[in-house]
Amino acid sequence: MNKKEILDILEQVKGGGLSAEEAVLLLKKSPFTDIGFAKIDNHREIRTGAAEVIYGAGKTPEQIVQIVKAMQEAGQKRILITRLSAEAADFVSGEISLSYHKGGRIAVVGGCAPVSGGTIVVATGGTSDLPVAEEAALTAEFFGNRVTRLYDVGVAGLDRLLSYLDDIMTARAIVAVAGMEGALTSVIGGLASCPVIGVPTSVGYGASFHGLSALLSMLNSCASGVSVVNIDNGFGAGYLANMINHPER
C-alpha cells in the first residue's frame, strides 16, 4: 500500500463513505514480514515513497522466490531485483513472471511505474561502463522516469559529448558513469543546470585501483551541483535521480 492509497482511505473516512473500523482493517498490516532468513519491510513505500528493492547478489534463487512471493502477498505490485545473475533469473522466472535485463543484471516483476516528470540522462565515459549505467537507467525507468541514454561520450573524444548539449541542458537530473580518471562527471557538471550524480566504476588499469581513482576525482570535482555515489553503484544513482525528478513522492 502506498501513500496515495492511504490518503484515499482517509478521505473516504472523512467523507463518511468508510467507517473508522473498516479503515483500520484496510490499514492493519504488519510493518514487516518475517520469513526466517529475511524480514521484509512492508511499510517502506509509506515512509519513503518507494517500496523495498531486492538485492539479488548473495541470495540463492530459492530465497529470492520466497522474498518476492512474500512481497506480493503483502500487496506490493511492482518489485525490482538488482544484481541478479542470468542463471538465477532463469530459475526465478520459472516460479514468477518477470522481465530480465541481462545488461544491467536487473529483473522487474509487475512492470514499471507510469512515466511522469522530466527526463533523466544517463551518460557513460565508455562502453565498458555500460553494466553500471544500465543498472542506473533501468532503476530510474522502474520508478517511472523517462531516461535518455548517452553512451560512450567520454572526454577522450569531447566532441561526442558536446553533440548532445540539448539533452544535457534540458535534463532534470544526470547520472554520469565513468571509470579511469572519472573526468566525465566534472565536464557534465560544468555544462548542466540540474543535479549531476557521479558514478565511479571499477573500469581501468592498475593505478585506477578498481574505481578508487575515479571516486576520488569525482569527490574532488570543481563543478558545482555534483554528488557522488559508491563505486559501481548504478542502483543508488538511478534511485537518487528518481527522487530528484519526483520530489513530491
pLDDT at residue 147, as a whole number? 98
Would the pLDDT of 229 be above 80?
yes
Give dist(CA 120, CA 218) in Å, integer: 19
Q: Terminal CA-to-CA distance of the chain, rounded, Å? A: 14
Start and end residues for every CATH 3.40.50.1970 domain found in the chain:
119-245
What are residue 120's DSSP bridge partners? 147, 173
How many other C-beta atoms can be found within 10 angstroms of the C-beta atom of residue 38?
16
Give the three-state DSSP class for 36: coil
Q: Which CATH architecture has domain 119-245?
A: 3-Layer(aba) Sandwich (3.40)
- Residue with the bigger pLDDT between 16 and 132: it is 132
Tell me which residue of 147, 144, 78, 76 sits closest to 114, measured CA to CA: 144
Condensed to tens digits (0 to 9), the pLDDT of residues 117-127 reads 999 999 999 99
Give dist(CA 64, CA 88) in Å, integer: 9
Instruction: Report pTM.
Output: 0.86
Condensed to tens digits (0 to 9), the pLDDT of residues 73-98 reads 888 899 999 999 999 999 999 999 99
Give the three-state DSSP class for 101: strand
Provide the grid cell at 65.
Answer: 522466490
Provide the grid cell at 33.
Answer: 514480514
Would the pLDDT of 40 be above 90?
no
Half-sphere exposure of 83 (CA within 13 A, CB side): 13
Provide the grid cell at 234.
Answer: 548504478
Give the three-state DSSP class for 212: helix
Give the three-state DSSP class for 112: coil
CA distances to 136, 145, 146, 147, 183 from 141, in Å: 9, 5, 6, 7, 26
Pair 117, 146: CB distance under 8 Å: yes
Give dist(CA 48, CA 85) in Å, integer: 28
